[in-house]
Structures are given as structure tokens and as C-alpha cells.
Structure 1
Amino acid sequence: MTSVSVIGKGITKFGKTNQTIKSLMLAACREAIVDAGRPKVDAVFVGNFAAGSLANQEILGSVLTNELGLGNVPSVKVEGACASGGIAFRQAYQLVKSGEYETVLVAGGEKMTGIDTKTVTKAINLAMDNDSNEGASGLTFPGFFGVLANRYMYEYGAEKRHLAMVALKNRKYAVSNPIAQFRKNTSIEEIMEARPITDPLGLFDCSPITDGAAAVVIQKGSLGVEILASGQASGTPLMQEVENILHMPATRESANDAYKKAGIEPEDVDVVELHDCFSMTEIVAIEELGFFEKGKGWKAVEEDLTKHGGTVPVNTSGGLLSKGHPIGATGISQIIQIVDQLNNHACNQVDNARIGLAQNLGGTGAYSTVHIFKKKGA
């Protein structure tokens, strides 16, 4: 069986910057290539959602390949809303595993600040089915996840403070992450009393607008952290078509596919980076990924089971909520945190981490990827 490993990584600081998307992505790519030992790169895959509308730049694959001096190797940009990075990584992994390429550079990036809020909101909402009555009604992502949160609390007895506990956990982890957007300590009281966005979600419950880039080099063989499996699934982009709003089938199916391919169970996973675009999303995700029973995710948060010393530490990078969410870079940045954990030099290191999982969501559950990794030599 062909092994594929992550052998190099690079990442910029997340937050607000005057740099262009090109300069951000070049910085991350160069760092990844140097970290990998400057191998010959056979192809370039780029995850990006909205560079055209937000940064006035398309053809990112060609731009990066040219600027990096990689010659005439093939390149492509992949779009899958917030799962763009995860999907780009999956495509690259599959082609290396199949033997098409030996070494591939996978990058993700987004330039989102420096633009008025209306323009950014309009661009982000392109990740919804706008040729529908939901689009015509002005449904937004905070609106969708606010509905989900209210229903979850009604069905299972969770409270707003449990959402705040997720946000607080991730902020505390972000304080130790040098690339995180938000590194200032906060409190449960500040989170609970913050400006409301859409009931019951407040400011700290929502991922921010972020600039940033991340890149990895993957290669055939077992020289780095091994990629055990990759899973992907799709779901409906329309709330009115969701069979049960408290379930995200794409997350569940992509995870089950990855677990089966890796030959493991959820309890074998030592550390997780998952897509907490909203605090409520993390609670749903830890259930759909199989770490906790349906309707019990909020109890796991209350009992500190998603922290160090619990069942499984979740979002030790600070997650999207505090690390930041430069859309195209998010899936790759999650993978970098897992790789760092398995190489024993992560911020907020988890003791004896051998198996790690990264889950990247797109839209309201339109896409999900799950990647499982194993420590070198484990």
C-alpha cells in the first residue's frame, strides 16, 4: 500500500494585514518548501473561496507556480466554500497515492479585511443557494446556525452558557498560539454579555473576518506524518431541505468514510481540529464525528471532556473562533496544527498524541472533509 506523508508546512499569522493574497500565499508556500527540504514539486493545488470578489485576483495556481519558480508543473485552484482547503488537500493526496505525482504543494489562503462589511457579507453568502427563496429572504450563515442553536437547546436542554464555554476554551488555547488572530484573555462573563449577532449567538460565538495563508508539502513515502485516510461528503445547501437540522450528514459520512479507510474508531483519535465557524458548530461536530452521543455534546463541554485531560482535546489551535478563519486557508491550517501535534512541537501540545483528525466544513453543511493522520513511526 502506498504511503503518503506531510513533509513540510508553512503558515502566516492570521488576522488583519496590508499584504495581498499573493504575498500571503507566497510566504506560506516558501516556508513549506524550505521546511520540506526544497524537494522537486510536481504539482500545485490551491484552496481558495473568494479571491476574485474580495482580492481581485484569480488564477492563483498559475500565479504561485510562476512566482515560486516551479516551471511548467500543473496547478489548479479548488473552491468548496469554507472547505476549499480541505478539498484541495484531498485531491492532492489522492493523486499522490495513485502514483500520478511524487510531491505536491497544497496551499490555501484568503484576503478578507480592508473591504466594507456589506461586500464581505455578500461574498460569503455566495456559499449559499441564492437561487432559492432562502436566498431571496436574506438568510445568512449566522441566521442558519442561530436557528440550529435554538433548536438544539430546545431539544437537549443546553443553554447559551455552553456556547460560551466553547468560545472560552478556544480562546484560552489561542492565547498560546503565535499565529492566532485573538490572543487576549477573556472571561465567560464577557462572552455572555458581548454584542448579540443573532439569537442566541453573540460576538464571541462567531468566527471573524481574517487574512492569512497556509501551505503543506505532501510526498509519497513515510518521511513525515502519515496521511492515514481522507473522506469527503456533500449535503444540501438549503435549510428547508435538511431532514433534521440537528444533524450534519456530510460531517458524519465523511468521518465514517475516513474511519473505515484508516481502520480506526473515534476512540482511537488523540487530538482533533474541527470546523467551529460558530460555537454551536463545534458541539454538533463532536457528536457527528462520533466522539460523543447525539445530544450529549454540550454535556461533554460542561464536563471539560474536549480539553487536555478529557476524552479528546478539540481545537488546540484556538479554532476558527479565535485562531481566525481566512476561508481558503482554514482546512490547511487545521492540518498543520495536527501535524505539529504529532511531531510534538505544537502550541498546547497533547501528551502522547499518535492519531489526529482534521475536519473542514463548507457552507451550512454542503461539504465536509475529514483527514486522519498518524505520528511518524507510530
Structure 2
Amino acid sequence: MKNVWIAGIGMTKFGRRKDSLEDMILEAARIALVDSGYDDFDAVYVGAMHPEGFLGTSNLASVITDYLGLVPAPAMRVESASSTGAALFTAGFHAVASGDCRRVLIIAGEVMTRVPTSKATHILSQVIDGDERRHGATMPALAALSTRRYMVEYGLTSRELALVAVKNHANGARNPYAHFQKEITIEDVMSSKLICDPLRLYDCSPISDGAAAVVLTDTPSAIRVAGFGQATDLISVQMRSDLTHFTSTRIAAERAFKMAGISPADIGTAEIHDAFTSFEIIGSEDVGLFPPGGGRRALIDGITQHDGRLPINASGGLKARGHPVGTSGLAQVVEIVLQLTGKAQYPHPQGVRYGLTQSVGGLATNNLVTIMEAIR
């Protein structure tokens, strides 16, 4: 298998955008093209979770390839629910690592704010088990089940959970790409609307619009893709043996670390899927950064702050940067590259060699972990 390198990155500002999905994807792609210095590619990979439902549009890969002037390059669309961006990155990695392609452009985008929140919730709930959905389950409801179980097992309180939102909003306030650029307090979180006990409004990531792009190549550059892992789990949550932790993340992380030849102790910064605040804590444990229950203690002790021993979501995460579902997994990669190269415009760790991303698809039914290495 050949080494794969990140030659260029691009990202739009996230938020409630007036731009079309195509325009945002093109914006991110053109930034990445300039950053990489390349203008021709062996393949184009485009990711979006559900543009048919949010916008009534499809055939996105062909449209974007045409608009970028890259015809007749092969193009395809990738989708794996809310881990679409990460799965897209993995598809591009395989194309280069196998030797089939020398250079690929991967782009993810989603526009979610054109529909009412109720419809967006319905679209997002389509990724969970049909029987559970027919009995009233939604994504926030299932996340709340997992959160409550974690609280019971490890003693996490609602005020402690609120620290995730407070931390990530403070980080997002300094990230020019972020949807939410304001700090909040624990009291703000605790007084916000109850969505599904114990999760409140500020425990949930916002419906958002945005796009990100990455150029992958077999030519050495400043950032190498050191390892990745992917794993799935049962669609039906009621059939799982553990609600508190996600087996798919644990297996994906084991595979990623084995491929990279390092251990969790080598990671200096991480972007963890925090669609719900509890998922940051759970995810940090599942990838091996902390032992079971240790994510709570790390949060309380400030270890995961941007200036802590192991910063998590220094970008603001999905919670503050926003969660355009098909984009988030790739945006995490962009944020880690910015941090590893010292180009992030927000406080982040300096001189770090390895960074990690963890992306969750559905209710942890298709999860991915990626490790990147800064070459100095």
C-alpha cells in the first residue's frame, strides 16, 4: 500500500447560508485546488448525506465535476449518514493507496436550513432502525438513552455535561468558520429548552450548511494519512449489548492505531464527533484516549481544553462549528490539518505530531477513525 498525503484543504464558513449547495461545494473545492497547486485529477469523490430530501437535487458528483471543469474525470458520490465526510475521505484514500489514482479531489457538502426543523429531524431519523422509528424514536431520543445510561454508570451530572457545550462554544467563538461564534455559560445550557431528557438545546449540534474539500496525492507533503479504521454496528439500538459505548468506534480505533503503528498516548489533538455533548465524552473513551468513565474526569479537570494536555474539539466541534451532516467528517480532517500545520486561526496545540478524528454515522452504525501525521 502506498503512502497517502494531504496536498490541499478548503472549507467554507458554516451556518445558515444563502448559497446553493453547488456553490458552497465549488467554493471549498477551489480553495483546496489553490492550496494544493493542482488542477487535474484522476478521480473526484463527492459526499452529501441527503440532498434529495433537503433540496430535491441529485447527480451531485457529475454536476460538480462538470462545474469544476474536470470532465471527463471519473466521479462518484459517497454516503454513510452523518459519517459521510469521513467515508468519503476513506474512499479517496483507497484510490490513492491502491495505486489506481495518483491524485484525487474529495468534496463534501450539505445544505440543511432550507427545510423546517421538523422536516430536518424527520430526514435525519430515517437513518435509524425502522421499527424503532415507527415507535417514536428519533436521533435525539436514542442519544438521550445513551447519555442517561452513561450518567448512571459513571456518575456524570447534567451540569458536568454542560461543560462540553461551554468549552466548545468558547472554542468556536474563536474559529472564523464556526456557525456559533459566541461563548455560553453553564447556566445558559441548564436553562435552555429540554429536547429529550437529559439533553437540552445546547447539548445538541445545530442544523447547518457548509462544505469542505481535501486533495489527496501520492506525492509527499506536510501531512501524511497515518492510519484509518472503519466499523459498523447493529442498526437496532435495542439489540445492542452496550448503550454506553459504541463498539463500532472501538473497532475502528483499534484498526486505525494498528495501521499507524502508534498508541492513543501519541495523539496530541483530536476532533471527536459531538453531535450531542455526551458523544464527545463517550467518543474520547471509545477511541482509547481515556479509560471508560475517564472522559468525564478529563473534562472536569480541563485536560480537553484547547490549552490542556489533550485538546478535544479545539475547533468548536460539531457543537459550535455546526453539523451539516454530510460535511462534518471531512471538516474534522480539515481542522486537524490546520492544527497540525499551525495554520488554525483559533487557539490550538503547537508542535503536535499526530491528530485524530472520529466520525459517527447514524446512531454509531458506521463509524470511522482517522489519524494524521505532521512531517517536520
Give TM-score scaled by structure 1 length: 0.97
Please name the residue that 2:103 is paired with: 103
Please name the residue that 1:188 is paired with: 186
Please name the residue that 1:149 is paired with: 147
Please name the residue that 1:233 is paired with: 231
Structure 1 unpaired stretches of 5+: none
Please name the residue that 1:357 is paired with: 356
Deviations, residues 247-281 of structure 1 (Å, cap 9, x unaligned): 10011100000000000000000000010010010
Distance 1:180 1:310 in 2: 21
Deviations, residues 73-95 of structure 1 (Å, cap 9, x unaligned): 11111110000010011011011
Query: Which residues in structure 2 correspond to 1:111-122 (within 5 Å)?
Result: 111-122=111-122
Deviations, residues 121-140 of structure 1 (Å, cap 9, x unaligned): 1111111122x2x1211201
Please name the residue that 1:83 is paired with: 83
Please name the residue that 2:163 is paired with: 165
Please name the residue that 1:265 is paired with: 263
Query: Which residues in structure 2 correspond to 1:200-239 (within 5 Å)?
Result: 200-239=198-237
Deviations, residues 189-246 of structure 1 (Å, cap 9, x unaligned): 1111111111111111001100110001110121231101121000112111111101
Distance 2:348 2:188 in 1: 27
Distance 2:301 2:12 in 1: 34
Distance 2:145 2:185 in 1: 25
Contact 1:47 1:86 in 2 (8 A): no
Deviations, residues 14-60 of structure 1 (Å, cap 9, x unaligned): 00011111111111111111111134211111121010111111111
Distance 1:22 1:138 in 2: 34
Distance 2:70 2:88 in 1: 19
Q: Between Structure 1 and Structure 2, how many residues are aligned?
A: 375
Distance 1:266 1:235 in 2: 22
When residues 172 and 141 of structure 1 are mapped into structure 2, their CA distance, relative to the original with a 3 A threshold, is same
Aligned-pair Cα RMSD in Å: 1.0
| SS in structure 2 of the partner of residue 85 of structure 1 | helix
Structure 1 stretches of at least 4 aligned residues deviating more than 2 Å after TM superposition: 308-311
Contact 1:44 1:73 in 2 (8 A): yes
Letter in 2 for 1:284: I
Please name the residue that 2:3 is paired with: 3
Please name the residue that 1:24 is paired with: 24
Distance 1:124 1:38 in 2: 36
Please name the residue that 2:40 is paired with: 40
Letter in 1 for 2:328: T
Letter in 2 for 1:182: F
Offset of residue 119 of structure 1: 1.6
Please name the residue that 1:243 is paired with: 241
Distance 1:344 1:311 in 2: 17
| SS in structure 2 of the partner of residue 362 of structure 1 | coil
Distance 1:348 1:238 in 2: 40
Offset of residue 309 of structure 1: 4.1
Contact 1:231 1:258 in 2 (8 A): yes
Distance 1:13 1:223 in 2: 25
Distance 1:71 1:115 in 2: 32
Distance 2:35 2:107 in 1: 14
The answer to whether structure 1 residue 52 and structure 2 residue 60 are counterparts is: no
Letter in 1 for 2:107: A
Contact 2:55 2:114 in 1 (8 A): no
- The counterpart of 1:281, out of the listed 279, 282, 287, is 279
Distance 2:276 2:118 in 1: 20
Distance 2:124 2:299 in 1: 29
Contact 2:307 2:348 in 1 (8 A): no
Query: Which residues in structure 2 correspond to 1:289-304 (within 5 Å)?
Result: 289-304=287-302
Q: Which piece of structure 1 moves more, 7-16 or 184-193?
A: 184-193
| SS in structure 2 of the partner of residue 73 of structure 1 | coil
- The counterpart of 1:136, out of the listed 134, 137, 141, is 134
Give TM-score scaled by structure 2 length: 0.98
Please name the residue that 1:373 is paired with: 372
Deviations, residues 70-117 of structure 1 (Å, cap 9, x unaligned): 021111111100000100110110110110001100111101002122
Offset of residue 296 of structure 1: 2.1
| SS in structure 2 of the partner of residue 270 of structure 1 | strand
Contact 1:3 1:226 in 2 (8 A): yes
* Identity across the alignment (%): 38
Contact 2:171 2:306 in 1 (8 A): no
Q: Which piece of structure 1 moves more, 83-92 or 343-352?
A: 343-352
Letter in 1 for 2:330: I
Letter in 1 for 2:253: A
